[in-house]
């Protein structure tokens, strides 16, 4: 039994983290956008004498602890052989929510094959990213797609999301070395700055919810917290001549909307660029094969 699952990637503009004893109540307030560039995952489940979970990312065997924990949350001690094949279209640890997307897409695939629900999969992936400290809101956003404001942290009914209507082509640029999420979430002084700035950004965005305003307050957040380094700020300022731009949280990368061709040209000076659209559907099964019958 096999399924293919797509999960969008996700760019966070700003975030205010919250950790509770119950990972279902943990997460972040903030805002971001889900992107059509993301993760395609093939999941295969077979009966087995013992539990085995094998994860390949872009053709290479990986430990992928967030994805593995998400699967274990679902199947517990069931003696199943599970093979996960994940293909990324963007680089990891650059603020694109790929750990969450990988865990979410794998969990949706496994849930589909073992008779569980998408809600079960979302919960397992969210709890895994919280416990592994690889993200605090990506799974929730990627589950539903679009442009979101996370008004309260955690899964429903604790977490509340408001969606902003809108669509746009989005230019991405990766400028520098990876910025692992745990290195930021574990810095107490930096987290105090993040919380203070994020609360201002959230109230400002809720007063005037739009994609444009999201990017504007996101750039303020990047500067106020000191997360944006000189090269990132320079790229954003240059891109701002042709639209609006900010930093992807958390990565040495930039996202921008506006005059797409000119944005690609100018950002190409700073690093590798990608063109994407806003994904409006969220993570979903895109192909299924059961009992030698294929469905798409």
pLDDT digits (tens, 9 = 90+) for 103-128: 999 999 999 999 999 999 999 999 99
Which pLDDT does position 70 carry in this prediction?
98
Residue 294 has pLDDT above 50, yes or no: no
Which pLDDT does position 194 carry in this prediction?
94
Residue 271 has pLDDT above 50, yes or no: yes
Is the dihedral angle over the CA atoms 212, 213, 218, 223 positive or is it negative?
positive
Which pLDDT does position 135 carry in this prediction?
86
pTM, to two decimals = 0.94
pLDDT-wise least confident of 238-247, 269-278, 284-293: 284-293
279: left (phi over 0), alpha (psi -120 to 50) or beta: beta
Residue 77 has pLDDT above 60, yes or no: yes
Residue 7 has pLDDT above 60, yes or no: yes
- CA nearest neighbour of 144 among 90, 84, 104: 104
Reported as a single tens digit per residue, the pLDDT across 163-205 is 999 999 999 999 988 766 666 767 788 888 999 999 999 999 9
131 band by pLDDT with thresholds 50, 70 and 90: very high
**Are the beta carbons of 73 and 127 closer than 8 angstroms?**
yes
Q: Domains plus CATH for the chain?
A: 2-162+280-295 (3.30.230.10), 165-277 (3.30.70.890)
Residue 66 has pLDDT above 80, yes or no: yes
64 band by pLDDT with thresholds 50, 70 and 90: very high
Average pLDDT over all residues of the chain: 94
Distance CA(11)–CA(201), nearest Å, equals 16
CA atoms within 13 A on the CB side of 40: 9
Residue 293 has pLDDT above 80, yes or no: no
Question: What does the pLDDT average to over 125-144?
Answer: 94
Residue 144 has pLDDT above 90, yes or no: yes
Residue 80 has pLDDT above 90, yes or no: yes
Which string of b and e fits 83-118 if b means at least 16 CB within 10 Å? Answer: ebbbebbbbbbbbbbbbbbbbbbbbbbbbbbeebeb
H helices present in 33-137, as ranges? 65-75, 98-114, 118-132
């Amino acid at each position: 039994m096999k399924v293919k699952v797509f999960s969008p990637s996700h760019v966070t503009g700003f975030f205010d983290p919250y950790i509770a004893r119950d990972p279902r109540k943990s997460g972040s307030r903030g805002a971001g956008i889900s992107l059509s560039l993301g993760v395609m995952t093939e999941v295969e489940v077979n009966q087995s004498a013992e539990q085995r979970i094998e994860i390949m990312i872009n053709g290479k065997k990986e430990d992928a602890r967030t994805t593995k924990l998400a699967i274990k949350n679902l199947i517990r001690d069931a003696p199943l052989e599970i093979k996960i094949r994940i293909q990324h279209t963007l680089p990891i640890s650059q603020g694109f929510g790929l750990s969450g997307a990988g865990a979410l897409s794998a969990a949706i695939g496994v849930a589909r094959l073992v008779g569980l629900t998408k809600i079960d999969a979302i919960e397992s992936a969210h709890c895994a990213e919280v416990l592994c400290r690889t993200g605090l809101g990506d799974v929730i956003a990627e589950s539903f797609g679009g442009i979101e404001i996370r008004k309260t942290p955690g899964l429903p009914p604790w977490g509340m999301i408001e969606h902003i209507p809108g669509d746009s082509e989005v230019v991405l640029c990766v400028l520098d070395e990876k910025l692992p999420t745990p290195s930021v979430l574990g810095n107490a002084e930096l987290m105090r700055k993040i919380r203070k700035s994020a609360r201002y950004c959230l109230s400002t965005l809720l007063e005037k919810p739009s994609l444009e305003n999201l990017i504007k307050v996101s750039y303020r957040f990047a500067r106020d917290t000191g997360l944006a380094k000189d090269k990132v700020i320079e790229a954003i300022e240059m891109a701002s001549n042709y639209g609006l731009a900010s930093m992807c949280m958390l990565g040495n990368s930039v996202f921008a909307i506006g005059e797409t061709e000119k944005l690609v040209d100018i950002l190409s000076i700073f690093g590798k660029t990608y063109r994407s659209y806003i994904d409006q559907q969220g993570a979903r099964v895109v192909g299924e094969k059961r009992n030698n019958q294929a469905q798409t």
